[in-house]
Structure 1
Amino acid sequence: MSHAGDSLPRPGDEPEGALRVQDLDLNLLKTFNAVYAEKHVGRAALRLGITQPSVSHALGRLRLLFRDALFVRTGGGVEPTPRAQRLAASIERSLSILQAVLDEGAQFLPASSRRTFRLYMSDFAESAFLPTLLRELDERAPGVVIETLQIDDSQFNGAIESGRIDFALGNFPQAFSHFHSCELLRERYVLMMPRRVAERYALTDRFVLDATVPPTLQFISVSSHPQASALLDEHGLTSRVRVAVPNFMVVPAILYRCDYALILPRTVARAFAPLGEMAAFEIANASTWPVSAYWHRRFDADPGHRWLRALLMELFRIGAREPYESWLAIPPNLRPPASGA
């Protein structure tokens, strides 16, 4: 009895003499493409950078494989047979696809790329770095997309190892030691308040938060930064906290309408300065910490990753160089006075 499955081809059932991919040498396809384009064996050899006998030998192998003359001599060179004409478009397309695959792994063209990079940033890194990075991408890589992800601390290392995120920007002491990183800058906490509040209390630019604090000044606490809360406690200011918020996003709106102060990273203070004419002051005993870019070493050779890495270093690896306005995305007409912190 016959079964429907009996008519299905099985491995090894190819017609006798059928050409298989493993029988092909890539150089043969390149030779075919060159001869078809040049219609001349000598010019094809020059195009390929090989000798004319080598081209003739390759054509001989092609004729055996395809069981067709492929190219026949004419007075001015060679002309393709009907079989060669049918093959030409497919061979050229296959070589183009292969070249595109090779190019993708060897170079990154920012001006034409549509790649998406996924970044994980701490809240202050997102506020301080993202506007400047996007402004630069608008100029250099208008098709590149930046996606910022929020992940739990417990997922941080796994997200980098899996490639779920390309870069993490911030201070992450929990990062695995085998991750690669580069320090972008040294950060420290400062005291910030609306300039109108500083003027009301007659605080000069030389004011330092220590034992002397305006007696009626009230504070915002940012719960995502326990070090800032520790500084408030160290200076006896915890009882003056008027509002506690989870991150810095709402801070400019609060300070625009309310006469409060807060302790925050200096870079964020610089980023917020043009949003409400803020004043910033140093804090006694405020330690510094590194803000770094982290990535997995398996992406070191990826062209796109290397390009973005170099851009991050160019834009933000400023060390102790100031003013920060040189890289923060602050239009010149909105920058705070040079006398600020």
Structure 2
Amino acid sequence: MPNLHDAYGRDLDLNLLRVFAVVAEEGSITRAAARLYVTQPAVSASMRRLTAFVGSDLFAREGRGIVLTARGTELLAAARAYLQPLVAAALAAPGFDPRLTTATVRIGLADSMEALLLPPLLRLLRAEAPGLTLVVLPVQFRTVADTLLQHRVELAVSVADELPRSILRQPISLRRRSASAFVCLYDPRFSKLPKKLTEHDYFARDHVAVSYAGDVRGIVEDATGKVRRVRVSVPSLVSVAEVVDGSSLLATVPALLAEHVLKSRSHLRIVPLPFRLPGAEIELLWARTTDDDPTLRFVRALIPRALRSETHKPQACSP
């Protein structure tokens, strides 16, 4: 039996079979053309091409209409056996049951999101999709677009700058402090800070900086034009709490992350910064080509729920 590859090699346009089926059902070139929203000559030309391909007449004149020949009847039965499942497959809703899925989803997370998002997200997955596996990769605003476009991850939660139109973005609404998106995190056992920190106090202290470029510059230097006394620079926010704990170093971190840290390190403290830093919105990002994937759509819906459940919990106090 010839396969589709053979048919393509012989220049068979499979759309001819659809036109043929409609002509056979209508018994008229004219009525078939009206049903297909094409001209009568176009339908006639299609039937001539199919007849030439088959090598046998498919219709015969009968009165004012046309009827199938024996070869045409045989072809119609075979064509319907293929066309009907194709139509059904095209119209069927994608089958996805989160309770049964064993899919693996690769997700890129900004460093501030790992501790904040993963625990509540895993709790939701355990309850709603226990067989789904997450693979987490680090991303940041400079790398997230390439990471998505090169398919190293399927979803990302991060701050992002300008993105190509091939990447879709959804802001994630979170509870934020009204004064600033950043705060100063410190250990009061080793650093005595006033409740209202001044710029002089801030820049007179030693700091831990987060630099994705491998230097001692960070968001404070970029925003204020002033230079901190940086004693250590780390490549991500993940280790900042460990560095601050038990030291006299100050860390400038997102307020949401600082509040999360205080839940497990209640002896640390936070104070507002003496200047404003530009806040950046956390967004959920994914490639346009995966927008209709049912598994990814399910996980995309869980992520804002997970973050809201975490950030709406009562926060630790900072005297």
TM-score (norm 1): 0.57
Give 3-state SS (helix, strand or coil) of 2:201's partner: coil
Give the counterpart letter for 2:183 in structure 1.
V
Q: Which residue of 2 aligns with 1:280?
A: 270
How has the CA–CA distance of structure 1 residues 170 and 273 changed in structure 2, closer, same or farther, with 3 Å as cutoff? Answer: same
How has the CA–CA distance of structure 1 residues 189 and 231 changed in structure 2, closer, same or farther, with 3 Å as cutoff? Answer: farther
Give the counterpart letter for 1:279 in structure 2.
R
Give 3-state SS (helix, strand or coil) of 2:170's partner: strand
Task: State how far apart, in whole Å, the 2-side matches of 1:153 and 1:252 are.
Answer: 22
Question: What root-mean-square deviation, in Å, do the aligned CA atoms of Structure 1 and Structure 2 show?
Answer: 4.3
Task: State how far apart, in whole Å, the 2-side matches of 1:134 and 1:123 are.
Answer: 17
Deviation at 1:156, TM superposition (A): 4.1
Task: State how far apart, in whole Å, the 2-side matches of 1:288 and 1:195 are.
Answer: 26
| Superposition pairs of residues 289-304 of structure 1, within 5 angstroms | 289-304=280-295
How has the CA–CA distance of structure 1 residues 196 and 107 changed in structure 2, closer, same or farther, with 3 Å as cutoff? Answer: farther
Is the contact between residue 170 and residue 284 of structure 2 (CA under 8 Å) also seen in structure 1?
Answer: yes
2:246 aligned residue (257, 273, 277): 257
Task: State how far apart, in whole Å, the 2-side matches of 1:10 and 1:311 are.
Answer: 47
Task: State how far apart, in whole Å, the 2-side matches of 1:300 and 1:267 are.
Answer: 29
Deviations 1:147-199 (A, max 9, x none): 1124697864344245442211111214213421111147722111124456x
Q: Which residue of 2 aligns with 1:192?
A: 185
Task: State how far apart, in whole Å, the 1-side matches of 2:145 and 2:209 are.
Answer: 28
1:145 and 2:145 correspond? no
Give 3-state SS (helix, strand or coil) of 1:129's partner: helix
Give 3-state SS (helix, strand or coil) of 1:143's partner: coil
Q: Which residue of 2 aligns with 1:92?
A: none
Q: Which residue of 2 aligns with 1:128?
A: 116
Q: Which moved more, 1:176-185 or 1:215-224?
A: 215-224
1:309 and 2:300 correspond? yes
Q: Which moved more, 1:174-183 or 1:136-145?
A: 174-183
Task: State how far apart, in whole Å, the 2-side matches of 1:190 and 1:316 are.
Answer: 20
Deviation at 1:108, TM superposition (A): 2.3
1:179 and 2:167 correspond? yes
Is the contact between residue 228 and residue 264 of structure 1 (CA under 8 Å) also seen in structure 2?
Answer: no
Task: State how far apart, in whole Å, the 2-side matches of 1:193 and 1:291 are.
Answer: 24
Task: State how far apart, in whole Å, the 2-side matches of 1:155 and 1:104 are.
Answer: 37
Give the counterpart letter for 2:318 in structure 1.
G
Task: State how far apart, in whole Å, the 2-side matches of 1:168 and 1:194 are.
Answer: 32
Deviations 1:119-140 (A, max 9, x none): 1122112232222212221222
1:228 aligned residue (219, 236, 253): 219
Report how many aligned residue pairs link the two structures.
239
Structure 2 residue ranges without an equivalent (≥5): 4-72, 78-85
Structure 1 residue ranges without an equivalent (≥5): 1-8, 12-60, 66-97, 327-334
Give the counterpart letter for 2:255 in structure 1.
R
Task: State how far apart, in whole Å, the 1-side matches of 2:141 and 2:279 are.
Answer: 22
Give 3-state SS (helix, strand or coil) of 1:149's partner: strand
Task: State how far apart, in whole Å, the 2-side matches of 1:301 and 1:251 are.
Answer: 38
Task: State how far apart, in whole Å, the 2-side matches of 1:232 and 1:302 are.
Answer: 40
Give the counterpart letter for 2:293 in structure 1.
D
TM-score (norm 2): 0.60
